[in-house]
Amino acid sequence: MRHITQLGLAAATAMAFPLAAQAADIPAPVVKAPPPVVLVSSWTGFYFGAHAGGAWGSHTYSGGPAGDWVAFGPPLVPFLAANETPKLKSSGFVGGGQLGYNYQTGSIVWGFEADGSGLGLKKSRNTGVISDPFGTPSVFTENAKVSWLATARPRLGLATNNALFFVTGGLAVGEVSSTSGLFRPLSGYNSFGSTSKTKAGWTAGGGVEYMFASNWSVAVQYLYVDLGKVSYRTTDRSLGFPTFFENLTTKTQVNLATVSVNYKFGAPSVVARY
């Protein structure tokens, strides 16, 4: 009996060695890491924010002498027209706020934005004393200004992860002021005219916006604004020459380069996708 038991143990041991060898040859199971999390920004929702930057513009005067200037002062007409119709270049600061709404379908983002800005955009000119064709001293002055600006614009953009590249354009409204003066001390002629109007025009531009945190974004934008023309008449303030006057027009164009920060309402803008 003891002999039989020893034979059985020996046989079992002989069978175990090949099985152990085969088990050693089986590769260990490969454990796959979970796929990385991809962060996808959603631009859909209402937002508001603030902006600041720089503005520069051009104010082009046109027109000139009218009334009895044309009848009795032909030699002076070219001189007056040349000095009363400059093109002024202005620059200044712009700052304000904006609000809007975006709707995203795939990578396309449709939206609408309205903003309001205060502008320190103005330019003044004073020729100092210059002589007319007859040697009479004359001084010309001009002043052009844009005090505030508001726009209402559709937006169309292409979203790539956290960045949004967009174009925009629409309505622009602003307050435009323009003045012109002529002082001739020897003749006693002193004319002046001014206007300040709220003008409607158009704007177009584009930019890029980047979502740097959940519901927060920063944007860089450029806008070109055309506010059209304002017209007015300069008249003799001494009343010695009431029939000698000038009809002037000023065309105003503005450029805006701004940086804005926006907060979007609603659910967090970044979601996880596996």
- Residue 10 within a domain: no
Q: Are 198 and 227 in contact (CB under 8 A)?
A: no
In this prediction, residue 249 carries a pLDDT of 97
Which segments of the chain does DSSP mark as H helices, in order? Answer: 2-25, 68-72, 77-84
- Residue 79 within a domain: yes
Domains contained in the chain, number: 1
Question: CA–CA separation, 220 vs 151, rounded Å?
Answer: 16
Q: Max Cα separation, the chain?
A: 150
- Residue 7 within a domain: no
pLDDT (tens, 9 = 90+) of the chain, 274 residues, equals: 444 445 444 444 444 445 444 444 555 555 565 555 444 558 999 999 999 999 999 999 999 999 999 988 888 999 999 999 999 999 999 999 999 999 999 999 999 999 999 998 999 999 999 999 999 999 999 999 999 999 999 999 999 989 999 999 999 999 999 999 999 988 889 999 999 999 999 999 999 999 999 899 999 999 999 999 999 999 998 888 889 999 999 999 999 999 999 999 987 655 444 3
- Residue 219 within a domain: yes
* DSSP code per residue over 102-153: EEEETTEEEEEEEEEEEEEEEEEEE--SEE-TTS-EEEEEEEEEEEEEEEEE
- Residue 1 within a domain: no
Q: Are 120 and 146 in contact (CB under 8 A)?
A: no
**Pairing relationship of beta strands 244-264 and 130-131 according to DSSP bridges:** unpaired
- Residue 150 within a domain: yes
Q: Which domain holds residue 263?
A: 40-273
pTM: 0.82
- Residue 148 within a domain: yes
Question: At a CB cut-off of 8 Å and minimum separation 6, what does 8 contact?
Answer: none
- Residue 268 within a domain: yes
SS3 228: strand
